[in-house]
């Protein structure tokens, strides 16, 4: 009998932990099972007016979601845009966009209304793909510093995470 009591207590304990994990993860993701991780941006030179924020966005839901916008404090940049870097194109007005590098000869950026994230999928905002463009930087981004960015989602509200300057 005593043994069954222990098993019962263990099962109840596991159930309680599982419940707590669900509650806590629900809170930290702002509901909807969306999570933003490892947000970063390259440090900028004084002459640079724009910068691209990258991050990993995980959708743990059975429904598709999308990033519909992002915000940073005005002490960081005047505004933001959702961008996608396209390879092999040309004639883009965004070409060079303050992010001068050798890559600019072969790539250009295009504004997108949303960044779709399929059900139970992970989207990497990364160099050569999607990013949040910071437009009109208030001051250069210094390596080692960080600032907040708030991602807004079609489902699941908003989530604020720290962006590390690399
Ligand atoms: Cu861009």
In this structure, are 6 and 17 located in the same domain? yes
Which structure tokens are listed for 108? 């250009």
- CATH number at 136 reads 2.60.40.1890
What spacing in Å lies between the alpha carbon of 87 and ligand 1's midpoint? Answer: 13
Give the model's pLDDT for residue 87. 82
Task: Note whether 88 and 15 are same-domain residues.
Answer: no
CA of 84 to the centre of ligand 1 (A): 7
Residues 20 and 72 in one domain: no
* 52 vs 10, higher pLDDT: 52
Per-residue pLDDT, 30: 42
Distance 108 CA to ligand 1 centre (A): 8
Determine the distance separating the centroid of ligand 1 and the alpha carbon of 83, expressed in angstroms. 5
- pLDDT of residue 8 exceeding 50: yes
Residue 20's domain comprises: 1-30
Output the pLDDT for position 156: 80
Residue 27 in this model has a pLDDT that exceeds 50: no
What is the Cα–Cα distance from 118 to 115, expressed in whole angstroms? 10
5 and 55 fall within a common domain: no
Across-strand partners of 52?
A: 133
Question: Which pLDDT score, from 0 to 100, does residue 20 have?
Answer: 46
Return the percentage of the chain with pLDDT > 70, whole number: 70
pLDDT at 72: 98
Residues 87 and 39 placed together within one structural domain of the fold = yes
pLDDT at 83 over 70: yes
The count of structural domains within the chain is 2
Least confident of 17-21, 78-82, 102-106, 133-137: 17-21
Same domain, 54 and 2: no
* E strand map for 30-157: 34-41, 51-59, 65-71, 77-87, 107-111, 115-117, 122-125, 130-137, 146-153
Whether residue 39 sits in one domain with residue 17: no
What is residue 105's predicted lDDT score, i.e. its pLDDT? 61
pTM over 0.95: no
CA of 146 to the centre of ligand 1 (A): 19
């Amino acid at each position: 009998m005593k043994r069954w009591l222990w098993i019962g207590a263990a099962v109840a304990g596991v159930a309680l932990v599982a419940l707590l994990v669900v509650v806590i993860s629900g809170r930290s993701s702002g509901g909807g099972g969306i999570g933003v991780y490892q947000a970063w941006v390259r440090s900028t030179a004084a002459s640079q007016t724009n910068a691209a924020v990258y991050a990993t966005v995980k959708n743990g839901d059975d429904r598709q979601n999308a990033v519909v916008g992002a915000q940073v404090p005005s002490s960081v940049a005047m505004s933001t845009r959702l961008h996608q870097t396209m390879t092999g194109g040309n004639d883009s007005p965004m070409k060079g966009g303050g992010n001068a590098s050798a890559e600019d000869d072969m790539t250009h950026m295009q504004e997108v209304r949303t960044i779709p994230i399929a059900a139970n999928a992970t989207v990497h905002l990364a160099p050569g793909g999607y990013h949040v463009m910071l437009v009109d930087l208030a001051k250069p981004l210094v390596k080692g510093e960080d600032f907040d960015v708030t991602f807004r989602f079609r489902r699941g509200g908003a989530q604020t995470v720290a962006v590390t300057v690399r």
